[in-house]
Amino acid sequence: MDSTTNAPVTVIGLGLMGRALAGAFLKAGHPTTVWNRTTSKSDLLVAEGARRAPTVGDALKASSLTIICVTDYQAMHELLGASDVELDGTMVINLTSGDSAQARAAARWAGQRGARYLDGAIMAIPSAIGTAEAVILHSGPQPDFDAHKSTLDALGTVTYLGADHGLASLYDVAGLAMMWSVLNAWLQGTAMLRTAGVDAATYAPFARQIAAGVAEWLPGYAEQIDSGSFPAEVSALETDVRAMAHLIEESEAVGVNAELPKLIKAMADRSIAAGHGGEQYPVLIEEFSKPRDS
C-alpha cells in the first residue's frame, strides 16, 4: 500500500487532461513518471521534474499506481494490450471517458491479465485539476481505492461510488443529464422573458432560486421512487399537466421554441394514459425507465 503523500505515480496519456493530472501529482510532491505517444507533450512536465519513461511497459513498472487518461477505451486497450506490456501485478486507474459497459469490460480484461483496476470519470476541466472543484469519480474494489486515496487526493475531490466498475461512468452521464436539463429549463424561461424585455441577467437570480427550491424536493421524491409508491401529497400529475399545457401555449404565443415543453408534457400524458394521473410527479420514473417505444 502506497498511501503516502510522496507515493510514486505514473501517468500515461498527456493530452490536455493527462498533463493536468501529471502536473497536479508533481505539485503535490509525488515522484511522477509520464509517457505519451507524442513524446514532446511531456517536455514541460519533465522540465518540472517528471521522469519520462521510454515505453508504456517501463511507465507501468515505475510506480505501484498508474493513471491512464487517453481519448477513448480503444486507445487505452491499444496501449495496455500491446504484446510487450506486462500488466500482471500492476494497479491501473483508467480516467478515460467511456460508458459503463466499456468500464466493466475493461475491468474484466485487466483482471484476466493480473492487473488491479479501478475505473474513473473526471467531472472537471483541466485547469480545475488539483483544486477541490475537480470532482473525480471512482468505482471498482474499495480496498484498491482506499490504498491509493491519499495519492489521488492530489487531483481534487476524489469520490468512491461502489464496487461495480460501471458506476463512475453512470454517475458521470447522470450528472450531465442534470446539468443540461437545468440549463435547458433556464434557457426556455430566458427566451420567454426576453420577449418582454427582461434580460438573462435579470432572470438568472430568480431561476437559481427556483432550481435550488426544486433541488430540495429530491430526497423526498427519491423515497417515493425507491418505495414504488407515489401518493399526491403536494400535487397530482393531472394538475401538473395543465400547467405544462400553459407553458406550451405561452411559449407559442410569445413566439419561442416550444419543443422542450412539448416533450415534458408528452411524457406526462403517457403516464396519465397509463393510469397515473392521480399520483405525484416522480411516478414519471416509469416513463424514464424504458425505451421510448416499448
Ligand X SMILES: NC(=O)c1ccc[n+]([C@@H]2O[C@H](COP(=O)([O-])OP(=O)(O)OC[C@H]3O[C@@H](n4cnc5c(N)ncnc54)[C@H](OP(=O)(O)O)[C@@H]3O)[C@@H](O)[C@H]2O)c1
Chain residues in the site for ligand X (CB under 6 A): 13-18, 36-38, 41, 69-71, 75, 78-79, 96-97, 122, 125-126
CA distance 173 to 179: 10
For residue 271, the cross-strand partners are none
In the complex, least distance from residue 148 CB atom to ligand X, rounded to whole angstroms = 19
Residues 33/63, Cβ–Cβ less than 8 Å: yes
Nearest residue (CB) to ligand X, 39 versus 181: 39
Smallest distance from the beta carbon of 136 to ligand X, in angstroms? Answer: 9
Nearest CA to 15 among 56, 59, 92, 68?
Answer: 68
Residue 100, all three cell numbers: 459503463
Shortest Å distance, C-beta 35 to ligand X: 9
Extract long-range pairs of 233-237: CB within 8 Å, 24+ residues apart: 233/280, 234/280, 235/280, 235/281, 236/277, 236/278, 236/279, 236/280, 237/268, 237/271, 237/272, 237/276, 237/277, 237/278, 237/279, 237/280, 237/281, 237/283, 237/284
Exposure string over 230-267, b if 16+ CB within 10 A, otherwise e: bebeeebbeebbeebeebbeebeeeebebebbbebbeb
Nearer to ligand X, 72 or 249 (CB): 72
Q: Which is nearer to ligand X, 75 or 210 (CB)?
A: 75
Q: CB 120 → ligand X: shortest distance, Å?
A: 10
Name which of 34 and 258 has its Cβ closer to ligand X. 34
- Is there a contact between 24 and 52 (Cβ–Cβ < 8 Å)? no
10/96 with CB nearer ligand X: 96
**Residue 208 vs residues 177, 214, 250, 258: alpha-carbon distances, Å:** 17, 10, 21, 22
- Distance of closest approach, residue 257 Cβ to ligand X, in angstroms: 29
Query: Nearer Cβ to ligand X, position 50 or 147?
Result: 50
Find the shortest distance in angstroms from Cβ 180 to ligand X. Answer: 15
Q: Pick between residue 175 and residue 278 the one whose CB is nearest to ligand X.
A: 175
* Nearest distance, CB of residue 14 and ligand X, angstroms: 5
Q: In the bound complex, which residue of the shown chain has the CB atom lying closest to ligand X? A: 15
